[in-house]
Amino acid sequence: MSDKGERGLIDWIRGQKKSCKSALVNIGIGDDLAGLRIGDEQLLYGCDQVLDGVHFRLNDCGAKAAGRKALARNLSDVAAMAAVPVVAVASVALPENMATKQAQEIVSGMNELAEEFNCPVIGGDLGSWTGALAISVSVLAKGAGLEPVKRSGAKEGDAIMVTGELGGSILGKHLVFKPLVKEARALAEQIKLHAMIDVSDGLAVDLHHITNESKCGAEIRAEKIPVSEAAKKLGPEPLEHSLADGEDYELLFTLSEKEVHKAQSILGSLGVKVSHIGRIIKQGVILTDENGNQRELSATGFEHFVKKAQSRKRNG
Ligand SMILES: [Mg+2]
């Protein structure tokens, strides 16, 4: 993985057409979930895993939080497509020295969330090994009368919006976030959302996922980005954390400019903050600061300088 990276491997897998195509599939690799049309039903299917030492530290957070997070990440992908979760299955690799009580806590963490989201965990697989705890959850969801919102529908001129606040989720939010399933659904029921993703890799990376899939660019305004209190606690450059930290599981979406107020009012009525952070442009992913300085935003954060604002003449 060190030579090409995760993204390179995913691109290679996408190229292996024979193994990942089926006549039933209408949304393939490259979105939050894959889509299947079976009869009249639009189904969505995907999986996500959490690993001790990568996505959580078992000794710090405990087994229950790890179990909850494994399902929550999947439910956030369901939210990203404005779908309704149906069922999940889980596959768990337990460390061989793990106490039964701890293993039970993984299940309770998952089940509490499953109940809240009406998405029961109906089966799976258990194994034990010499490695660390690894939990993989697979989720099935349905369109339930709405077309899934893909990453690929952003159009030039669209407004770019993001819910909540970003950055510093490592201080706690990554374990306790609430998947925005109901909120995404409420939006999609009343507004034509053009593209949507959940912010799991970080704003900069996830914005690139939208622009890559939609074959467009984006300009976001630094002063509009909702910087979280946690990001401010992490050091002198909170904006960088808001751009680059992952695992906020907020919704990043694009829609026609004229629908911005409606989206704000729908989310406001659900008690969810939303920020209008920029617009879809033809190409490039650009961050503009309040002085008009522009930087190209790489998939990981700042990259290179594009345009400096002309210095203003001083009065007198
Ligand atoms: Mg996602």
Query: How many angstroms is it from 315 CA to the middle of ligand 1?
Result: 50
Query: How many angstroms is it from 251 CA to the middle of ligand 1?
Result: 9
Instruction: Report pLDDT digits (tens) over 192-246.
Output: 999 999 999 999 999 999 999 999 999 999 999 999 999 999 989 999 999 999 9
Give me the domains of the chain, ranges plus CATH numbers. Answer: 5-142 (3.30.1330.10), 159-307 (3.90.650.10)
Query: How many angstroms is it from 100 CA to the middle of ligand 1?
Result: 31
**Bridge partners of residue 88, in order along the sequence:** 121, 139
Residue 1: pLDDT over 80: no
Query: How many angstroms is it from 249 CA to the middle of ligand 1?
Result: 8
* C-alpha separations of 61 from 68, 105, 209 in Å: 11, 12, 30
**pLDDT computed for residue 7 by the predictor:** 75
Query: How many angstroms is it from 204 CA to the middle of ligand 1?
Result: 14
* C-alpha separations of 208 from 55, 114, 138, 242, 254 in Å: 22, 31, 25, 15, 13
**pLDDT computed for residue 20 by the predictor:** 61
Helix (H) or strand (E) holding 277: strand 274-281
Query: How many angstroms is it from 72 CA to the middle of ligand 1?
Result: 11
Mean pLDDT of the chain: 92
Query: How many angstroms is it from 235 CA to the middle of ligand 1?
Result: 27
Query: How many angstroms is it from 197 CA to the middle of ligand 1?
Result: 6
pLDDT tier at 307, thresholds 50, 70, 90: low
Percentage of residues of the chain with pLDDT beyond 70: 92
Instruction: Report pLDDT digits (tens) over 109-129.
Output: 999 999 999 999 999 999 999
Query: How many angstroms is it from 101 CA to the middle of ligand 1?
Result: 31
Query: How many angstroms is it from 34 CA to the middle of ligand 1?
Result: 11
Residues with CB under 5 A from ligand 1 (ion): 32, 77, 80, 198, 200
Instruction: Report pLDDT digits (tens) over 250-295.
Output: 999 999 999 999 999 999 999 999 999 999 999 999 999 999 999 9
Helix (H) or strand (E) holding 9: helix 5-15
Query: How many angstroms is it from 55 CA to the middle of ligand 1?
Result: 15
pLDDT tier at 314, thresholds 50, 70, 90: very low
What's the whole-number mean pLDDT along residues 40-64? 95
**pLDDT computed for residue 14 by the predictor:** 80
- Rg for the chain, CA atoms, rounded: 20
Instruction: Report pLDDT digits (tens) over 155-186.
Output: 999 999 999 999 999 999 999 999 999 999 99
Query: How many angstroms is it from 151 CA to the middle of ligand 1?
Result: 10
